[in-house]
Amino acid sequence: MSDITEGVAKPRPAPTPSNMGLWLDRLLVPVSVVAMVIFWEYSVTAFKVPEYLVPPPSAVFRSLSNMWNSGLLLTHGVITLIEAALGFVIAFVFSTILAICIAESRLFERLIYPYLAALQSMPKVAIAPLVMIWFGMGIESKIVLSALLSFFPMLVNAVEGLKSVDDKRARLFRSLGASRFQTLRLLKIPNALPFLLVGIELGTIYAMLGAIVAEFVGASQGLGAYLLSMNFQMDAAGSFALLAVLALYGILMQFALRAVRNRFLFWSRSNNHSQGA
């Protein structure tokens, strides 16, 4: 039969795109990681690099397996995760409340900004010994330092998100008689969600960093103390194994937050795609 009916050509279905590019994107990272590990293993062996300087991946995997089988990795890891999680929650609550106050009141922003700038400019590692003196050598000091490190990234992103509301939308809300609380709840907070997630992503990394640094300064348990003991013992394979665990934590957190962003901020993702099209 002809493809022409009553002088009008029938539209032909668009060709389906090949999945080759999608599969290449998915395989790129694991293939590159495997290639890097193989290159690392054979280059260290070929150049006869001492294991106490740069251990081969096989030694790192053996050390990681021994840590897991002994239960030390799980014990120290849970302690550090608890410290980082509690510090992150405290920082998230205070940074969100403070960001709302700053975004809603210029007077409050002028009053609080010099203190925030001064505290932000201080190296948190430098005040870690003071935190230990004030809060002791227990878990409290680790939580405080973890909260301090993760506080500012979340605060800055939250303030930026709350202030980035489009003026036309804000005027529309005012013209409809919306109160400040209604504008905050229905316009500013939804508009700030992408910024908040970026701050949360940074905050989770800095919270773990704060817990590790606090354990370096003074602790008998936790991944930081465990890593420090490996360094004192000149166990490079053990140190590399713990660093790999910390890197895996960061990767898992990024994947988890990306899944949350795709699930709850699909509208933002689609807007980004449409803008880039």
Given this model, what pLDDT does residue 18 score? 55
Whole-structure pTM over 0.85, yes or no?
A: no
pLDDT 10s digit of each residue in the chain, 277 long?
A: 444 444 444 455 544 445 666 666 667 777 788 888 888 888 888 888 888 888 888 888 989 898 898 888 888 889 999 999 999 999 999 999 999 999 888 888 888 888 888 887 887 777 888 888 888 888 888 999 999 999 998 999 999 888 888 778 878 888 887 788 888 888 888 888 888 888 888 899 899 988 898 888 877 788 888 888 888 888 888 889 999 888 888 888 878 887 877 777 766 543 444 333 3
Q: 32 lies in a domain?
A: no
Given this model, what pLDDT does residue 266 score? 63
Given this model, what pLDDT does residue 21 score? 64
Q: 257 lies in a domain?
A: yes
Q: 163 lies in a domain?
A: yes
Taking Cα atoms as reference points, which of 131, 108, 112, 106 lies closest to residue 211?
131
Q: 132 lies in a domain?
A: yes
Alpha-helical regions (H) of the chain: 20-46, 57-70, 72-104, 106-121, 128-135, 139-163, 167-175, 180-183, 189-217, 223-232, 236-264, 266-276
Q: What is the DSSP letter of 178?
A: -
Q: 277 lies in a domain?
A: no
Is 87:145 a contact under the CB 8 Å cutoff? yes
Domain assignment of residue 234, given as a range? 64-265
Domains held by the chain: number: 1
Q: 203 lies in a domain?
A: yes
Distances (CA, A) of 94 to 83, 98, 151, 152, 268: 17, 6, 8, 10, 26
Given this model, what pLDDT does residue 70 score? 87
Please give the angle made by the CA atoms of 107, 110 and 111, to the nearest 5 degrees.
90
Q: What is the CATH number of the domain that holds 168?
A: 1.10.3720.10
Q: 150 lies in a domain?
A: yes
Q: 223 lies in a domain?
A: yes
